[in-house]
Amino acid sequence: MAGLAAKFGSGAMTNSVAEIADNDAIFVIGSNTTENHPIIALRMKEAVAKGAKLIVADPRKIPLVKFATLWLRHRPGTDSVLLNSMMNVILAEGLEDKDFINERTEGYEAFVESLAPFTPEYGEEMTGVPAGDIIKAARIYAEAGSAGIYYAMGITQHVMGTNNVMAVGNLAMLTGNLGKPACGVNPLRGQNNVQGACDMGGLPNVYPGYQKVDVPAIQEKFEKAWGTSLSAKIGLPATMMTEAMLDGSLKGMYIFGENPALSDPNTTHSVKAFSSLEFLVVQDIFMTETAQLADVVLPGASFAEKNGTFTCSERRVQRVRKAINPPGQAKSDLVIIDQLYKRIVGDGDLTHTVDPSSVFDEVAGLWPGIAGINYSRLQETSLQWPCPTADHPGTEYLFKDGFNREGGKALFSPIPFVSSKELPDKEFPYVLTTGRQLFHYHTGTMTRRSTGLNRVSPEAFVEINPADADVLGVADGEKLTVSSRRGTINLKARVSKIVPQNVVFIPFHYREAAANLLTSDAMDPICKIMEAKVCAVKIEKP
């Protein structure tokens, strides 16, 4: 998100899902869309059926490859080199959109210079993708009338994740694929309300609506609205909280609807951190791995048991409606948080039940981007922000008239090659990459309680190429021990050409063979995301 925000002034999906069907070219990089965003993938398949060209860049032969015009199997961690060498080709062949570059961007000269070393031949050497395919991909993308890029955690969960995102942005800017329908730069959000949690200020550096906490005028606005003095100091990002817990500076935490003890990279480290807290409160619907470490556990409500709104990947604000009552004493999370808020500030009527509609109105009063949205409009239809006024229809695609930066122009940024933190060596010769499967979701708290889903995908596995399996002398279904510098897990081999040689894949849903015991907590220096997609492992027969 930090990457796109720096370039465009906003980090959300620029275009809408329905527009995908009208793309002339689709470039999917670092997104196993069919398994992680199945319904968005349907639009991609529809576009292909209508004649669109699909480029898939992924080290794994993901299901979408079946529909692709061109598949680029680059080495894990070389995304930005692949993108840079495609842009090198675009410039060499004069396929750039000169008008767009002149009128709507800045920083172009330095950027062009930075691309010089990234010839397709250099690209081939670094990424393993044949130079001819890099050239082909560049032409398909640049020559299309409208081309959209779709990416997800596959390019962001790296030490150079921000760089990768900025390289994606550069590619769209270079070809003028921004600010019009059916194109853009589209991060696909992995969870139902990632977009909303960011929008609502669930980030250490911004208030709701991405208003910076360290800008005095904004601080003043929120101080006035909330009737109290506020801190101008940017808070700790989640990944830095781990260190703060271990060094004792962070003493109390409140974790709500998350299971970081299983989802964090290098979980041994983070479990140690959570255990060292003086006070940990976890609010969830199940006794998760994280809740087991808590001092107080508060039973919340599932989505079926509460009223509110979610904002999906395409900035669409939609109603969540209560269908049933929560079990036992469990309560709506809004009520729990409100009760704690009132107790902590020592103000407010404890007998009054908070109304989600008026909370939404409170945010709408503080963030102009959703000022035109309220529950009575949402009763009729969902709305995509920005939606500044009560008669505004919502916004299908961003940046039609200008970018949200000072001066209204998008910024080109030179992206040097940065290597993954932990590369394979003699002791740990394989690259481990992690992700999700179609049949499970995240830490499996919900899906592993579904009998059907668990029957189709009952246990953890490690995908390994037949050639590597031969060397190790393992057959499909045999048990393997996979270890990294941080941990060891045992799980079954799934011998498959989905992964290339020397790369293995493990889904992170299974607590009994948690992939994140192995993954690295090396961090991107800008957005502090952890490198869950590349680490070095060794594989042995137990």
Partner 1 sequence: MLNLNIDGKDVSVAKGTTVLEAAQKLGIDVPTLCHDARLKPFGACRLCIVEIAGMPKPVTSCTTPATEGMVVKTNSERLYRLRKTTVELLLSDHPNDCMVCSSSGDCTLQELAYLYGIRENRFVGEVRDHSRIDHNPFIIRDQNKCVMCGLCVRVCDEVQGVGAIGYSERGFEAKVITPFGHDLDCEFCGQCVSVCPTGALTGSLWSGKPRSEGVVKTDTTCTYCGCGCNITLRTHGDKVIRVESASDNHNRGWLCVKGRFGYEFINSNERLTTPLIRKEKGAPFEKATWEEALDYVAGKFTSLQQQHGSDSVAGLCSARCTNEENYLFQKLFRAGLGTNNVDHCARY
- Residues of span 234-263 touching partner 1 by CB under 8 A: 234-239, 241, 244, 249-258, 260, 263
Contact at 8 Å (CB) between 19 and 182?
Answer: yes
Among 113, 121, 278, 459, contact with partner 1 (rule: CB under 8 A): 278
β-sheet bridge partners, residue 523: 530
Among 299, 369, 394, 507, binds partner 1 (CB under 8 A): 299
Binding track, positions 464-483, relative to partner 1; x by CB under 8 A = --------------------
265 is an interface residue for partner 1 by CB under 8 A: yes
In the bound complex, what is the minimum distance in angstroms from residue 235's beta carbon to partner 1?
Answer: 3
Q: What part of residues 480-519 is at the interface with partner 1 (CB under 8 A)?
A: none
Q: What is the DSSP string of 127-142?
A: H---HHHHHHHHHHHH
Interactions with partner 1, residue window 326-355 (CB under 8 A): 327-331, 333-334, 336-341, 343-345, 354
State which of positions 162-201 bind partner 1 (CB under 8 A). Answer: 188-201
CA distances from 216 to 161, 199, 207 (A): 30, 20, 12
Exposure class string for 124-157: b at 16+ Cβ within 10 A, else e: bebbebebebbbbbbbbbbebebbbbbbbbbbbb
Q: Please give the sequence-ordered ranges of beta strands (E in DSSP) within 152-200, or none if there are none.
A: 184-187
Closest distance of CB 188 from partner 1, Å: 6
Which one-letter DSSP state was computed for residue 276? T
Contact with partner 1 (CB under 8 A) among 49, 92, 116, 390:
49
Nearer Cβ to partner 1 (192/404)? 192
Per-position DSSP letters for 213-264, written without gaps between them: TT-HHHHHHHHHHHTS----S----HHHHHHHHHTTS--EEEEES--HHHHS
Between 172 and 317, CB nearer to partner 1:
317
Of 492, 529, 515, 511, the C-alpha closest to 443 is: 511
**Closest to partner 1 by CB, 426 or 455:** 455
Whose Cβ is closer to partner 1: residue 328's or residue 407's?
Answer: 328
Residue appearing with tokens 């239809």: 381
Q: Does 18 bind partner 1 (CB under 8 A)?
A: yes
Q: Which residue, 227 or 473, has its beta carbon nearer to partner 1?
A: 227
Instruction: Return the half-sphere exposure (C-beta side, CA atoms, 13 A cut-off) of residue 84.
Output: 28
**Does an H or E element contain 363, and which?**
helix 356-366
Distance in angstroms between the alpha carbons of the first and the last residue of the chain: 41
Residue 279, SS3? strand
Please identify, among the stretches 176-184, 301-309, 408-416, 468-476, the one whose residues bind partner 1 according to the rule CB under 8 A. Answer: 301-309
- As measured in angstroms, the least distance from the Cβ of 463 to partner 1 is 18
Nearer to partner 1, 241 or 499 (CB): 241
Cβ nearer to partner 1, comparing 235 with 416: 235
Under the criterion CB under 8 A, does residue 286 sit at the interface with partner 1? yes
Nearer to partner 1 by Cβ, of 169 and 300: the residue is: 300
| Residue 378 interacting with partner 1 (CB under 8 A) | no
Cα torsion 525, 526, 527, 533 to 10°: value is: -40
Q: Mask: binding to partner 1, 394-433, rule CB under 8 A, as x and -? A: ----------------------------------------
- Nearest distance from residue 357's CB to partner 1, in Å? 8
Q: How far is the CB of 57 from partner 1 (least distance, A)?
A: 20
Crossing angle, helix 131-143 and helix 79-92, to 10 degrees?
Answer: 70
Q: Does 32 bind partner 1 (CB under 8 A)?
A: no
Between β-strands 316-320 and 308-311, what pairing exists: parallel, antiparallel or unpaired? antiparallel
Query: For residue 242, which amino acid is it?
Result: T
Compute the least distance from the CB of residue 77 to partner 1, in Å.
17
Query: Quick check: helix, strand or coil at residue 469?
Result: helix
Residue of 43, 6, 13 whose CA lies nearest to 311: 13
Using CB under 8 A as the binding rule, the residues of this chain from 428 to 447 that contact partner 1 are 438-439, 441, 445-447
Binding status of residue 148 toward partner 1 by CB under 8 A:
no
What is the number of alpha carbons within 13 Å of residue 293 lying toward its C-beta? 24
Question: Does the footprint of partner 1 cover residue 377 (CB under 8 A)?
Answer: no
280 φ/ψ angles, rounded to the nearest 5 degrees: -130, 125
Nearer to partner 1, 95 or 230 (CB): 230
Cβ neighbors of 449 (< 8 A, separation 6 or more) are 286
Name residue 250's beta-bridge partners: none
Restricting to residues 210-239, which ones interact with partner 1 according to CB under 8 A? 213, 222, 226-231, 233-239
Give how far the C-alpha of residue 22 lies from the chain's centroid of Cα atoms, to the nearest Å.
Answer: 24
Residues contacting partner 1: total by CB under 8 A: 144
Does residue 208 belong to the site contacting partner 1 (CB under 8 A)? yes
Is 138 or 517 the residue whose CB approaches partner 1 more closely?
Answer: 517
**Does 96 help bind partner 1 (rule: CB under 8 A)?**
no
Nearest-approach distance from CB 41 to partner 1, in angstroms = 8
Q: Which is nearer to partner 1, 60 or 509 (CB)?
A: 509
Nearest residue (CB) to partner 1, 124 versus 264: 264
